[in-house]
Amino acid sequence: MITKKNPPDGRVGIALVTGGSRGLGKNMSITLAKKGNDVILTYNRNLKAANEVVSEIQSLGQKAAAFQLDTSKVKSFDNFIGEMTEYLQQQTGSPNFDFLINNAGIGLYAPFEDVTEEQWDEIVNIHYKGVFFLTQKALPYINESGAIVNISSGLTRIIYPGSSVYGSVKGAVEILTRYLAKELGARKIRANVVAPGAIETDFGGGRTRDNKEINAHIASLTALGRVGLPDDIGGVVAFLCAQESYWINGQRIEVSGGQAL
């Protein structure tokens, strides 16, 4: 059972984290729970991993639930929102929640001249179209004084060959976030971007984590001398959902350890 709370009074609330079953999304979900939030997370295929995250959150004393969602399929969003809000209504007496973290995504590493239309469509559908319309459909259920955190990438600033599609689409998300901050201000809903640098996860096939040459190269370009870890990101996302960060709005916060300064 998820207990409804009202974050504007300094208390915590209910967070929806897309792609919360692995990688950065898993870390965000668990960190939000450690800060006292209840969590709804989505997964695409791996129900077992999602249930493991739910169990870990429950072991922290918070409530959690997992729902299947493919963020590239906009036509599935109505069913997802219906299932989630029905669950919340049953558990809390309200279909509403407080924080939306648009995190779900995949990588694409391909030279500009080799990118196919199918690859382009997949990345745009997941990282921009999906973010846009999921946020739109979730918006009626986000409590006043809630928060939206969109996950972007250091690759909107750091130009790395082979990331033209991914970096460009994340740039669009950053602009969208500023529009959300402006247009949702009347409801006191703030919107910000967290842009991680290179992080050791299974993202993109684990290339940053598992390729020693890539890892060492990125570490050499980073002021703090190493590649990022999931724990470097989750706390920043949780902070942007907390009352202490209420006056931060429409901002891009890069969390990269000073990569490529």
CA separation for the pair 65, 50 (Å, rounded):
9
Cα distance between residue 150 and residue 101, in whole Å: 6
At residue 110, φ and ψ (nearest 5 deg) are: -155, 140
User: How far apart, in Å, are the Cα atoms of 193 and each of 14, 67, 248?
Assistant: 19, 24, 10
Catalytic residue among 128, 160, 166, 179: 166
Amino acid sitting at position 227: V
Three-class secondary structure assignment of 27-71: HHHHHHHHCCCEEEEEECCCHHHHHHHHHHHHHCCCCEEEEECCC
Which residues does residue 101 pair with via DSSP β-bridges, in sequence order? 17, 149
Distance CA 25, CA 21 (A): 6
For the segment 48-77, what is each residue's pLDDT rounded down to a tens digit?
Answer: 999 999 999 999 999 999 999 999 999 999
Q: What are phi and psi of 93, to 5 degrees?
A: 85, 5
Which SS3 state, helix, strand or coil, does residue 258 take? coil
Average pLDDT, the chain: 94
DSSP one-letter string for 185-198: GGGT-EEEEEEE-S
DSSP 178-231: HHHHHHTGGGT-EEEEEEE-SBSSSGGGGHHHH-HHHHHHHHHTBTTSS-B-TH
Q: What is the pLDDT of residue 202?
A: 75
Mean pLDDT, residues 221-227: 96
Residue 6 has pLDDT above 70, yes or no: no
Q: Identify the pLDDT of residue 98.
A: 98
Let me know how many helices (H) and strands (E) the chain has, helices first.
9, 7
- What tens digit of pLDDT does each residue of 129-183 get? 999 999 999 999 999 999 999 999 999 999 999 999 999 999 999 999 999 999 9
**Is the dihedral angle over the CA atoms 193, 199, 203, 205 positive or is it negative?**
positive
Tens of pLDDT, residue by residue over 231-258, are: 999 999 999 999 999 999 999 999 999 9
Q: Over 60: is that where the pLDDT of 11 sits?
A: no
Distance (Å, whole) CA 97 – CA 143: 6
Looking at the chain, the whole-number percentage of residues with pLDDT higher than 70 is 95
pLDDT number for residue 228: 94
Residue 192 pLDDT > 70: yes
Per-residue H/E/C for 121-142: HHHHHHHHHHHHHHHHHHHHHE
- Domains, in order of start, for the chain: 11-255 (3.40.50.720)
The one-letter code for the residue type at 122 is E
| Residues 6 or more apart in contact with residue 84 via CB below 8 angstroms | 16, 40, 67
Active-site residue flag, 166? yes
Q: Token pair 């409590």 is at which residue? A: 143
Mean pLDDT of 184-213: 88
